[in-house]
Structure 1
Amino acid sequence: MEALIDDITTTGGSENLVFFVRLVGAALFGGLIGLEREMQNHAAGLRTHILVSLAAALFVIVSTEVPDLMPEDSDVLRIDPTRVIQSITEGVAFLAAGIVFFQKGTVKGLTTGAGLWLSGAIGLTIGLGLWTLGIFSSVLGVIVLLVLHRIEVRTRLSRRKTKDNRSGEA
Structure 2
Amino acid sequence: MEWTDIVIRLLLAFIIGGVIGQDRENNRRPAGLRTHMLVCVGATVTSMVQLCTMEYAINLISTNPELSQVLKVDLCRLGAQVITGVGFLGAGTIIHEKGLVKGLTTAASIWAVACIGLGVGMGFYFLSIVSTIAVYFVLVFFKKAENKYADGKKMKIYLEYEDKYEATKVFYEILKEENIKICGMECSVKEESNKKIESCTYYMMIPISVDILELLDNIILTQKFIQVKFI
TM-score range, shorter chain: 0.7 to 0.9
Cα separation, 2, equivalents of 1:122 and 1:94: 17
CA shift digits 1:65-108 (9 cap, x unpaired): 11333422334331111222211101111111111121131211
> Which aligned runs of 4 or more in structure 1 are off by greater than 6 angstroms?
none
Of structures 1 and 2, the one scoring higher in RCO (CA 8 A, sep 6+) is 1
Cα separation, 1, equivalents of 2:95 and 2:71: 41
2:106 to 107, 112, 121: 112
2:83 to 80, 85, 89: 89
Cα separation, 2, equivalents of 1:118 and 1:160: 31
Instruction: State the Cα distance separating 1:163 from its structure 2 match.
Output: 5.7
1:162 to 185, 188, 209: 209
Indicate the larger mover: 65-74 or 49-58.
Answer: 65-74
Cα separation, 1, equivalents of 2:35 and 2:78: 21
SS of match in other structure, 1:80 = coil
Share of identical aligned residues, percent? 34
Cα separation, 1, equivalents of 2:122 and 2:95: 33
The 8 Å contact of residues 36 and 145 in structure 1, kept in 2 or not, is answered as yes
Equivalences, count: 154
SS of match in other structure, 1:162 = coil
Residue matched to 1:56: 43
Match runs of 1:2-151 below 5 Å: 15-70=2-57, 71-72=60-61, 73=64, 74=67, 75-151=69-145
Instruction: State the Cα distance separating 1:39 from its structure 2 match.
Output: 0.9
Indicate the larger mover: 18-27 or 76-85.
Answer: 76-85
AA of the residue aligned to 1:128: M
Q: Unaligned stretches of 5+ in structure 1? A: 1-10
* TM-score of the pair, normalised by structure 1: 0.82
Q: Unaligned stretches of 5+ in structure 2? A: 154-204, 219-231
More strand by share: 2
Cα separation, 1, equivalents of 2:208 and 2:18: 36
CA shift digits 1:118-149 (9 cap, x unpaired): 11011111111100110001011111001111
The 8 Å contact of residues 39 and 110 in structure 2, kept in 1 or not, is answered as yes
SS of match in other structure, 1:81 = coil
Cα separation, 2, equivalents of 1:37 and 1:98: 15
SS of match in other structure, 2:209 = helix
